[in-house]
A and B are shown apart, each in its own frame.
Chain A
Amino acid sequence: MSLSKHALTLSVNGSPTEVRAGLHDTLLTVLRDQLQCTAAKRGCNQGVCGACTILVDDRPARACLSLAVNSEGADIRTLEGLNDQPDMRLLQQAFAKAGAFQCGFCTPGMLVSAQALLRGKPAPDAQDVRKALSGNLCRCTGYTRIVSAVLDAAAMIRKEPVAP
């Protein structure tokens, strides 16, 4: 039944994690409400805003569009599991330095998308950054500082090569 919960084992930030999910429950619901991984935000719940962006099998994905029951066997990473990575730390420092946020609601999704961009393309130009972040909406900044923060981080990461 829809309201009954299914016992699932999800791989979250490298650890097999037992959760119980209804058929409608998305990864976002399970991550936030059961596992207290609250970096991914519930914005539109329609796949539009990008605030819930996480990594699934190393690629950015929308947690709000992923059903938990359909996610067993996938490698799920949230910002909580990426915080310790050197390139993510440099990105966060660059965001702080550039003032690349105001309310901060979009920031975790921005960081996940930006890290994925820089891992595939270590020396992007501003247009590449805008394209890569076009699925992440920010209603405060006007994006200018976000784009320059990602470019700054890219330069820092290139100087200080990091093992993923």
Chain B
Amino acid sequence: MVYDKESEVFSIQTINLTKRFAKKKHRGVFGFLRKNQSKNKHEENTDVTVALDKVNIEIRPGELFGLLGPNGSGKTTMIKCLSTILIPDEGTVIVNGFDVQKETSMVRASLGMVVGGERTLYWKLTARDNLMYFASLYKMQRRYAKKRVEELLETLQLSDRADERLEDYSTGMRQKVAIARALLHDPPILLLDEPTLGLDPNFSRQIRSQIRELSEKHGKTVLLTTHYMDEADQLCDRVAFINNGNIVAVDTPNRLKAMVKEREIVEVAVYRPPADIESQIRSLLPDAEVIKLIPGDEDEGNPSRIKIIGGTAEEHMGTIIDALRQKNIRIGSLNVGVPTLEDVFIKLTGAKLTEGGMQ
């Protein structure tokens, strides 16, 4: 499909969106007694973090758009700026044709969001009570709201337990209620921030299938943030990579993966690797384009992974196995694989990827 950019109307458009956060420096209990050396007292006492740096994104109506990045990359800040919870410092944000700073009420009515998941509901209330309360905040007509609540409870298979307090629900069920809340007023745009985080595989599958259905059958525009690359690959029409508040790339998952398609990829799962393993392997494999250690959580049964992109996989495998054995590093598995979005992200962000960010 060819898009005429000049005449195109976007569901979401950000132009040079910038958001900074100022954090006060802690100067200790008696810090106020210390003499301030700086002429600018405010600068002396604050650190400024740029959460979003001139971000430009255009999302088309009906598109399922993924925003991918490690923790702290700016995904949630982006969602909060779009949903009017945060006021941008610079730039323009247009949602459903409305400016977030000038037409706040219309933007809010155009959006449904799932941010923060199950924690953002009233656990002492039932699912039905929660939904009726939020229907009221969205100024829905009473009669319509009741009908809509029943409809959503039915669709999300919550009808049987609709009158139980959420404190008796499982995490997955509460997440379903959070999704029902986002859909209450039938908004054209959905902002979903890590909707499957912490869910078991069964509930994750159900939620993913709901998201796909909302986009394909109901024509909703969906902005999905996730750090699960497989989820984005399966669901999204287009994906944007965000790192340190910057958009690194935007394209379809297939086109993004084509960037590393020609390269061979080796992934080795290892236990307790030394901190300098990257540089050690790099010295052994000079032809590899990217070597990246992705820390795992061994207590949870997830070993760390070493990704090697580029070069000849066959040669690399032997060298790595020998090197790891020599250093008594336990190998969990070794795969030569097809490229994933994660590989593209590693290639694009390289050294910029913060440790512990990618999971």
Q: Do A and B interact? A: no
Binding site for B on A (CB under 8 A): none
Binding site for A on B (CB under 8 A): none
